[in-house]
Chain A
Amino acid sequence: MFLNIKTLLFCAAAAVAGTAPFAVQANDFTLEGKTVTWIVGFSEGGGTDRLTRVLQTKLSDHLPGNPNVIVLNKPGGGSVIASNDFHKNAPADGTTLIMASTSTLLPVLLGSKVAEYDPNEWVAITGFARGATMYAISDELGLSGTDMQADYEALKSANIRFGTETPLSAELLDFVSMEMLGVDARYVFGLSSKDAEAAFQRAEMNVNTDNTRSYLKDYGDDPKVNPVWSYGVIDAAGQLQRDPDLPDIPTFPEFYEAVRGESPSGTAYELQKSLMNAKVMLSKAVMLPKGTPDHIRDVYIKALKAVTSEPDVVAALPREIGSMPLNFGDETQRAMALGTQMAPEVRAWAARFLEERFDTSLD
């Protein structure tokens, strides 16, 4: 209800903005002599911070007036604290932007009380999609990688050990996917992705989830470790495609269809799709504060398109996020809406699932 009203308002505002004649021409807008503060809700050195700093080096060159661009780290609550502050206080004049990430969207999607912001009200500039995959130690689980049906039976009978952060983290995508397939696992919580990765290297865990880029770097040429499925990528037409970095690996719906004989559907799949949007399609997103006028948005979209075409950045991006296409403006805004909203019956399903499976309340 709450979300719906906000969305409605947002749509109304967008409609008004769309029909109104441009009061200010884009080329009048300048940031000369100003300082642009780019907020990162995480500590220095994390993936979000690194990507921001790569882009920061070139952003000034492509903004009108070549302002000074600084990155400001305000860690806390997995970016919730910075996002709350950004939502309430950031001026909509193009001098403040935020680098959102999956962790920014998840609390909103799950309706957490601590998140006092709605990223759908923010103005999207660019979204960075980053492929994700679930992989396993093949021979320990008895996976061949060639016969999906046989692999499925093996998964169902295997003793799966899966290390993750918390029941309410981005790995919920993997939990829900496994639940849809009726695959059970022993979950071990309290492990950051780095810790889970280390435990997987020690073979204390035999299943792990990570972004495609990290998977390929660490295990790309290791015959013992192979993806079970990838989460794919949504193309401009809204269709799910295979991960460009894992062209031979089935997406989760493909795997599901192959082993269950029907394509996935129902409330659980709705939740799975929302989580996929939050985790894959908006792994990182550059956003302006709510109420930022369109001409400023357009300036930034143009600048980010230019920045992400700089040879240095083009060379660095695959190392940071992989080779998925970027999305801009309205496309990012749509993914944002999908990744942050849940219909009441989907929410009810999620709450029941978390309660029964993990003794964890969604509220």
Chain B
Amino acid sequence: MAESALLALAQLTTTGTLLALFTGVVVGLIVGILPGLGGTAGLALLLPLVFGMDPNAALALMIGLVAVTTTSDTFPAVLMGIPGTSGSQATVLDGFPMTKKGGGTRALSIAFVSSLVGGVFGAFVLSFAVYFAQPVILQIGFGEQFMLVILALSMVGILTGSNIWKGLAACSLGLLLGALGSAPLSGVQRATFGVEYLLDPLPLVVMGLAMFATPEIVDLLRRQSSISETGTLSATGWLQGLKDWGHNWWLALRCSMIGSIIGALPGLGGSVVDWIAYGHAVQSTKNRESYGTGDPRGIVAPESANNAKEGGALIPTLLLGIPGSGSMAILLGGLVLIGIEPGKDMIDNNMDKVYLMIWSIAAANILGAGICFFLAPQIARITTMRYVLIAPFMIGLIFFAAFQATRSWGDLIALLLLSILAIYMKRFGWSRPALLIGFVLSERVEASVYQTVTLYGITFLERPIVLVLLALTLTSIALAILFKPSAAEAVTEEGPHTHRQLGPQWLFILGVIALAVYILVDGLQFNRLTGLFPMVASISTLVFLTPVVMTMLRWRAPSGFFYDHERTAASASGRSAEFYIGMILVMLLVSGLIGFVLGIATFIAFFLYRSAGQPWWKSVLGGAGFVLFLAILSDQLTLRYPTGLLQMFVSLPWPLQ
């Protein structure tokens, strides 16, 4: 062991390999910081280069890239509330509120030190796990995976928001939205509304952007301030962040452990890791009120977990040749290309390669976090700018990000529609994290229930690991109930909980009911393999909505069931949320005519001129700047952008196509 480890260290510290690692880290940081792109896109770009390269250098290059994308994706998540990858969704919950209080640098600092320690911890676990993890992983069968999914789903209990029924309904709605499109058990198209885009389930990244990014953009536009509400940025934030991490080192280690375990086990996949870690943080603290308002623990937990996850996901990839995540799948492909065949053979004969990977993960995490630390204070300054100046670029960025999901117009339309849903969920006090957890787990719930029942019936409960997981799940639910925060805010006649003017809330709920009923009816026409799950999800949505509807019908006093944020907030811009939704719609319509590149450029220029009051030449320059940004990405990352009617008739020069 020590011999291979030292040999690997010697291999890593040659100039060529170090240079490759550094290149990998830099590319990884860049694709990570760009919303919508991540490890998978980055690795795909490197594959042709890797082909024919020295194996050690190729390994360092690929690992360097994969290891750090979850470090740099924190920038847009924390500073702008844009979760550019599925791994940064939970970070937004507390990271962005902290930024809004002027703590941008502090939030980044917490995140980077958490990422660093989490990543190194993942490498550390990996270095032992290669010797004994195989039998453990092979114990995780369908029954165990099913219980893991249920355990993850139970995290919803503590993320339901102020009203438990609306929270559970949101989670069911998430399950429901996850069930649109091709059924995982039969491949049959269900609830597609006749749209080709829905042949596949809605992409998670689009869902994450819609749930968290758009509502914040609209909110900030209405408040007309900078992202940092104070307009300042604490100069000693990075030091404060280090201290915050120090206070929570034990939580960080626990979450790193969770991250590497979940990453290694089959059944859940990497995209839930950060939610489980976040849920664990909330569960294990008594004073929960500060979560969601910029609590450092809400950043430590997901950021520790999602970097540790990569080391964990490497375990099944190396031991069994079965990738533990999307980026691991492509890494596996890359390994095969350079002639390394993961599996038992590699552990027996190529241990130095395994250690080279482990060292690379550790080194990449340190290097990546170091670079990010260095850049953080500069980049964080963006939060002190007037938001109207950044907003149009943010809108361009989230639509760019969404388009990377399947590279079709459907991505843009889905983002708009789901954003509208999210804006009203926010306004009416529906938990968006609850919806997202339901959505992420939807397919796994459907498949694992069916597979477990088909293979084992009820006897899966006789398996020991299942029982342990069951006990954990029950504990998790009990904790959620026991430590339920006492009613945080008073329900008054004047506040958002008023029983007057329920019209908008009625409209929203009726919309949700209509969707659930539509999918219920749609499910009736299929066999059980296709139709059962969406029907169950619809029915549970309707059941959880019943108390809400009953209260709205009967109750004539302020109540926790009622919530309308519009009753408190005054819009500084004098504009309604609907105005901004309309504006985004117009942007998409224009893009439909002249293509996304020209459309978004026109939108940015027009917005800067009219809404931000910039001189015309600056506005045009802003639009042109974004075109340049898109052009560089198109060139470097071989991307293409949505085209409009214009492009069908006229062939335009690159990058306006």
Contacts and interface: CB of A to CB of B under 8 A. Distances in A.
Contacts of B454: 186, 188
Given A45-B326, A198-B320, A189 B200 contact: no
B407 interface: yes
Contacts of B336: 50, 319-320
B40 A188 contact: no
Nearest to A194: B322
Interface stretch (B251-259, B366-374, B443-451, B538-546): B443-451
B184 A190 contact: yes
Contacts of B199: 76-77, 80-81, 114
Contacts of B320: 198, 201
B188 A53 contact: no
A358 B185 CA distance: 11
B187 A53 contact: no
A211 interface: no
Nearest to A359: B527
A302 to B, nearest CB: 22
B446 A190 contact: yes
Interface string A121-165: 000000000000000000000000000000000000000010001
Given A53-B47, A114-B199, A320-B336, A204 B142 contact: yes
A165 B407 CA distance: 25
Interface string A80-93: 11001000000000
Interface stretch (A67-75, A233-241, A274-282): A67-75
Interface string B299-332: 0000000000000000010001111001101100
B329 A45 contact: yes
Pick the most buried of A53, A194, A197, A319: most chain B CB atoms within 10 A of its CB. Answer: A53
B329 A189 contact: no
| Number of chain A interface residues as a range | 35 or more
B141 A168 contact: no
B185 A76 contact: no
Contacts of B184: 166, 190
A80 B184 CA distance: 16
Contact of B321 (A186, A217, A358): A217
A57 interface: yes
Interface in B313-358: 316, 320-323, 326-327, 329-330, 333, 336-337, 339, 341, 343
B51 A360 contact: no
B51 A316 contact: yes
B44 A49 contact: yes
B529 A359 contact: yes
Interface string B514-526: 0000000000000
A46 B199 CA distance: 19
A47 B323 CA distance: 13
A81 B406 contact: yes
B522 to A, nearest CB: 16
Interface string A13-47: 00000000000000000000000010000011111
Given A53-B47, A75-B406, A360 B322 contact: no
B330 A319 contact: no
Contacts of B613: none
Interface in A61-115: 70-77, 80-81, 84, 114
Nearest to B640: A72
Nearest to A218: B321
B51 A166 contact: no
Nearest to B138: A202
B408 A81 contact: yes
Contacts of B447: 190-191
Interface string A284-317: 0000000000000000000000000000100010
A169 interface: yes
B529 A189 contact: yes
A44 B330 contact: yes
Contacts of A320: 336
Contacts of A195: 266
A54 interface: yes
Contacts of B341: 217
B130 interface: no
Contacts of A70: 638
Contacts of A71: 44, 638
A56 interface: yes
Nearest to B407: A74
B163 interface: no
A186 B454 CA distance: 9
Contact of A190 (B43, B47, B200, B451): B451
B532 interface: no
B142 A199 contact: yes
A167 interface: yes
Interface string B39-63: 0110110011001100000000000
A201 B138 contact: yes
Contacts of A312: 51-52
B333 A45 contact: yes
B406 A166 contact: no
Given A45-B326, A191-B451, A204-B455, A84 B196 contact: yes
A161 B454 CA distance: 10
B182 interface: yes
Contacts of A57: 48, 51-52
B186 A72 contact: no
Contact of B333 (A50, A114, A166, A169): A50
A235 B343 CA distance: 33
A195 B329 CA distance: 12
A186 B407 CA distance: 38
B197 A76 contact: yes
A278 to B, nearest CB: 16
B43 A189 contact: no
25 contacts: A43-B40, A44-B41, A45-B327, A50-B47, A53-B51, A54-B337, A71-B44, A72-B638, A72-B640, A73-B407, A76-B408, A84-B196, A114-B196, A165-B187, A166-B183, A189-B529, A190-B451, A194-B323, A194-B329, A199-B141, A202-B139, A204-B455, A218-B321, A218-B343, A359-B528
Interface of A: 37, 43-47, 49-50, 53-54, 56-57, 70-77, 80-81, 84, 114, 161, 165-169, 186, 188-191, 194-195, 197-199, 201-202, 204, 217-218, 312, 316, 319-320, 358-360
The 6 A-B residue pairs with the shortest CB-CB distance, nearest first, are A45-B330, A44-B44, A166-B187, A77-B199, A190-B447, A70-B638
Given A114-B189, A168-B187, A189-B186, 11 more contacts: A44-B44, A45-B40, A47-B333, A72-B640, A76-B199, A169-B187, A195-B266, A201-B138, A202-B140, A359-B527, A360-B188
